[in-house]
């Protein structure tokens, strides 16, 4: 379930899409909880009807490389919601 974005006045907004950001993780820092990573915009995905399954392929990933991902919901004006917790993939 996706919670609608709220504007500064507490009004709900419609989600028009999602922004995916990616950060490369240095070898040996895969489990580092206190490390900060430099994220770059990787993709913008348009919102689909309720119940749709989203998928996206990171064409910049290399075999054996660990990358962190986080996602932001976007409203119709391109404003970002809060980021999702980061997820690592190798």
For residue 67, what are the domain limits? 5-89
Distance CA 1, CA 58 (A): 24
Average pLDDT over residues 65-84: 93
The token pair at 36 is 């900060």
CATH number at residue 30: 2.60.40.10
Domain count along the chain: 1
Direct distance between the N- and C-terminal alpha carbons of the chain, in angstroms, rounded to an integer: 26
Q: How far is CA 32 from the centre of its chain?
A: 19
pTM of the model: 0.77
pLDDT tens digits, 2-60: 455 555 555 556 889 999 999 999 888 877 777 889 999 999 999 988 888 889 999 99
């Amino acid at each position: 379930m996706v919670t609608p974005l709220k504007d500064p006045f507490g009004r709900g907004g419609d989600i028009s899409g999602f922004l995916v950001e990616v950060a490369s993780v240095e070898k040996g820092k895969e489990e580092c909880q206190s490390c900060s990573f430099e994220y770059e915009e990787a993709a913008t995905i348009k919102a689909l009807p309720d119940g749709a399954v989203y998928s996206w392929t990171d064409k910049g990933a290399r075999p054996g490389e660990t990358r962190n991902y986080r996602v932001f919901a976007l409203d119709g004006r391109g404003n970002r919601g809060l980021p999702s917790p980061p997820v690592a993939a190798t």
